[in-house]
Amino acid sequence: MLEQVREQWLDLVNDQLKEMQMEAGTGLDSIIKVGAQVPPKPEMGDIAFPLFALSKSLRKAPAAIASELMSRLEKTDGRPDGQLLVAGPYLNVKIDTSSLAQSVYESISERKDAYGQTDLYSGRKMMVEFSCPNTNKPLHLGHVRNDSIGSSISEILKANGAQVMKVNLINNRGVHICKSMLAYQRFGNGETPQSSGKKGDHLVGDYYVKFAQWEKEDPTAVEQAQKMLEKWEAGDEDTVQLWKKMNDWTLQGLEESYRTMHISFDKYYYESDTYKLGKDKILQGLADGIFYKEEDGSVWADLSDIKLDKKVLLRKDGTSLYITQDIGTAISRHDDWPFDSLTYVVASEQKYHFQVLFHLLEKLGFDWAKELHHLAYGMVFLPDGKMKSREGTVVDADDLVANLASLARQEIIEKQREDALDDIDETASSIALGAMNYYLLQVDPLRDMVFNPSESISFNGNTGPYLQYMGARICSMMRKYDEVKAQYADIPFDASLLDISAERELIKSLARYPEVVRKAGADFNPSVICAYLYDVSKVFSSYYHDNQVLKAETPQLVKARVELCSMVLQVLRNAFTLVGIPFLEKM
């Protein structure tokens, strides 16, 4: 919306500049165009055109060009409303916010929850893979960042018109799974989630830890685990039985974690179903001369064409590897749901793996391999250092959420908000999730980051709870407004009354929202939404502090301001859903 106005001005400016350059004798092919920018301060205008670049060809100082450009533009017909300002080497435009306010008002009232959606990816089928837990332990902080990014990206793609399929891949086989099974078999004494009162994933995880201890005492432990894997692959009934039982426990536990974290998937894939699928394609590739066989029987790919070394695809005993099954999984996914793109949300330490995977699929002749993307994200550290499972400094996801919720709960009680809430536990949990997701998504995914739990849940500063509070404040005011609403029924919304600087800023922000959604989608970057949310909330917060809404001077102004607040509310709601912040009417 702001975009269109900017484009119009940009065209007008470049048309005039073209004329000026031609008058100065510049050849058609060396005409210089300028871009549109945003002035550093609102009082300097809303759109800026820097004119440095033209001083050479026009043989004039940029400031003189700005003056001439302004007088030429003022004689032009059909330009949008707005005021032109020369500011040194810049020509700035102060747009007419009241007409902008009117069109934003119409657009938000009409589109409501859909306000901000774009057509960037409309008609495209986009698959997103994320989470991908092992079934030998519970989720930890690393998974939480993965899930946050995966869920958020999925929502952002949807908001940009895509049809999205969220998929999970459960890593439920392999020697690491056998380790927890073996430890359970030896030390478990028939313990179950019911008998122990533990969540299934935690119970299984405990035996994975137990294996690590046992491994130190008994050097044959790893060997035994390897044997168990062989039995599993051979379909040994007892082993498969145990595997099924323990997998179920873990999966039920993981499901519970997903539920509390509001994580969901459209389809699950299981490694146990897919691990053999890639093998056939590799063998086919071997037959077609794309890959080659070593003397020992192992199958390899030569990656010198992308300046990498050789890569093993099948072991000498013919069994498949991580990359083998990922080839199979990708192919079967494309068969299941012919996507236009597939994005893997996986830690950046696996960059090499995906580079190779995508290249191999391309070599195998799948043209959709070009549409595979690795959305790599950095590691999460704690304020006191790195998470190391060996050193027991892993942050368990369930514990983290529970701790954050309990902090939120304490705060609610301290502020004596308990009676005002319908359900304190539900509210505390929503605050915890909002805090966590916002904190994790604020940072560019690519970067490593430090997660500070107590800072994330803080109610001061740039946090999820702060944003939720803004939403709750507006809702609270709206409830009061509802009581007197009838008095304002006949008063029309007059956009021109919203003319103080904070109101102008808010309107521009609201108008900018669709562009923000588009950028977040184009960049696959949720932090764009977070930055926007904080920006809007901060301006609103200050505005609301300094200006009366329900007690404004005239009924017309009350109406105009209430509508402005209601627009802010709608945009907060819409943006919250893109970054996993639960919206709270009360908190």
Considering only residues 88 through 147, tell me which ones interact with RNA, judged by CB under 7 A. 88-90, 92, 134
CB of 296 to RNA, least distance (A): 4
Residue 151 or 320 having the CB closest to RNA: 320
Question: Do 513 and 117 form a contact (C-beta atoms < 8 A)?
Answer: no
Considering only residues 12 through 41, tell me which ones interact with RNA, judged by CB under 7 A. 35-40
Residue 88 or 555 having the CB closest to RNA: 88
Question: Do 270 and 170 form a contact (C-beta atoms < 8 A)?
Answer: yes
Total residues at interface with RNA (CB under 7 A): 89
| The one among 449, 488, 494, 573 contacting RNA by CB under 7 A | 449
Question: Do 199 and 193 form a contact (C-beta atoms < 8 A)?
Answer: yes
Considering only residues 408 through 427, tell me which ones interact with RNA, judged by CB under 7 A. 411-412, 415, 417, 420
Residue 163 or 476 having the CB closest to RNA: 476
> Which runs of consecutive H residues, i.e. helices, occur in 306-396?
322-336, 351-363
By CB under 7 A, tell whether 566 contacts RNA: no
Distance CA 425, CA 310 (A): 55
Residue 6 or 166 having the CB closest to RNA: 6
Residue 92, beta-bridge partner list: 48, 85
Distance CA 520, CA 119 (A): 13
| The one among 184, 466, 524, 576 contacting RNA by CB under 7 A | 466
| The one among 82, 465, 514, 582 contacting RNA by CB under 7 A | 465
| The one among 24, 450, 484, 500 contacting RNA by CB under 7 A | 450
Residue 38 or 73 having the CB closest to RNA: 38
| The one among 494, 550, 566, 577 contacting RNA by CB under 7 A | 550
Q: Which stretch binds RNA (CB under 7 A): 47-55, 211-219, 285-293, 575-583?
A: 47-55
| The one among 538, 556, 573, 577 contacting RNA by CB under 7 A | 538
- Residue that has been written with the tokens 């192919």 in this structure: 331
Find all residues with CB under 8 Å of 133, minimum gap 6, and list them: 139, 143, 168, 170, 171, 254
By CB under 7 A, tell whether 197 contacts RNA: no
Q: Which stretch binds RNA (CB under 7 A): 7-15, 209-217, 235-243, 454-462?
A: 454-462
Both structure tokens of 41: 């301060």
CB of 192 to RNA, least distance (A): 26
x/- site string to RNA, residues 222 to 261, per CB under 7 A? ----------------------------------------
CB of 368 to RNA, least distance (A): 23
Q: What is the DSSP letter of 90?
A: E
Residue 258 or 544 having the CB closest to RNA: 544
Question: Do 117 and 514 form a contact (C-beta atoms < 8 A)?
Answer: yes
Residue 38 or 290 having the CB closest to RNA: 38
| The one among 227, 531, 566, 573 contacting RNA by CB under 7 A | 531
By CB under 7 A, tell whether 10 contacts RNA: no
Find all residues with CB under 8 Å of 386, minimum gap 6, and list them: 379, 393
Dihedral sign (CA 282, 284, 289, 293)? positive
CB of 262 to RNA, least distance (A): 19
Q: How long, in residues, is the chain?
A: 587
x/- site string to RNA, residues 310 to 349, per CB under 7 A? --x--xxx---xx-------------------------xx
CB of 528 to RNA, least distance (A): 7
In DSSP notation, 531-584 reads HHHHHHHHHHHHHHHHS-STT-SSHHHHHHHHHHHHHHHHHHHHHHHHTT----
Distance CA 156, CA 162 (A): 9
Burial class (CB in 10 A: 0-12, 13-18, 19+), 335: exposed
Find all residues with CB under 8 Å of 512, minimum gap 6, and list them: 1, 2, 532
By CB under 7 A, tell whether 527 contacts RNA: yes
How far is C-alpha 3 from the chain's CA centre?
Answer: 23
How far is C-alpha 439 from the chain's CA centre?
Answer: 12
Considering only residues 368 through 397, tell me which ones interact with RNA, judged by CB under 7 A. 379
Provide φ and ψ at 164, rounded to 5°: -110, 140
Considering only residues 148 through 177, tell me which ones interact with RNA, judged by CB under 7 A. 171, 174-176
CB of 124 to RNA, least distance (A): 22
Residue 129 or 188 having the CB closest to RNA: 129
Distance CA 90, CA 51 (A): 6
Residue 40 or 123 having the CB closest to RNA: 40
CB of 123 to RNA, least distance (A): 25
CB of 6 to RNA, least distance (A): 10
Residue 96 or 411 having the CB closest to RNA: 411
| The one among 264, 448, 501, 554 contacting RNA by CB under 7 A | 448
What are the C-alpha distances in Å from 543 to residues 41, 509, 561? Answer: 17, 13, 11
Residue 318 or 365 having the CB closest to RNA: 318
Q: Which stretch binds RNA (CB under 7 A): 23-31, 104-112, 209-217, 293-301?
A: 293-301
Question: Do 312 and 321 form a contact (C-beta atoms < 8 A)?
Answer: yes
Q: Which stretch binds RNA (CB under 7 A): 119-127, 154-162, 255-263, 438-446?
A: 438-446
Burial class (CB in 10 A: 0-12, 13-18, 19+), 4: exposed
Both structure tokens of 236: 């040994």
> Which helix H or strand E contains 251, and what residues bound it?
helix 237-261
| The one among 163, 350, 403, 566 contacting RNA by CB under 7 A | 350
By CB under 7 A, tell whether 586 contacts RNA: yes
Q: What is the DSSP letter of 419?
A: G
By CB under 7 A, tell whether 546 contacts RNA: yes
The DSSP bridge pattern shows strands 341-347 and 310-314 to be: unpaired
> Which helix H or strand E contains 311, and what residues bound it?
strand 310-314
By CB under 7 A, tell whether 480 contacts RNA: yes
Q: What is the largest CA-CA distance in the chain?
A: 92
Considering only residues 54 through 83, tell me which ones interact with RNA, judged by CB under 7 A. 56
Residue 205, beta-bridge partner list: none
Q: Which stretch binds RNA (CB under 7 A): 200-208, 250-258, 350-358, 485-493?
A: 350-358
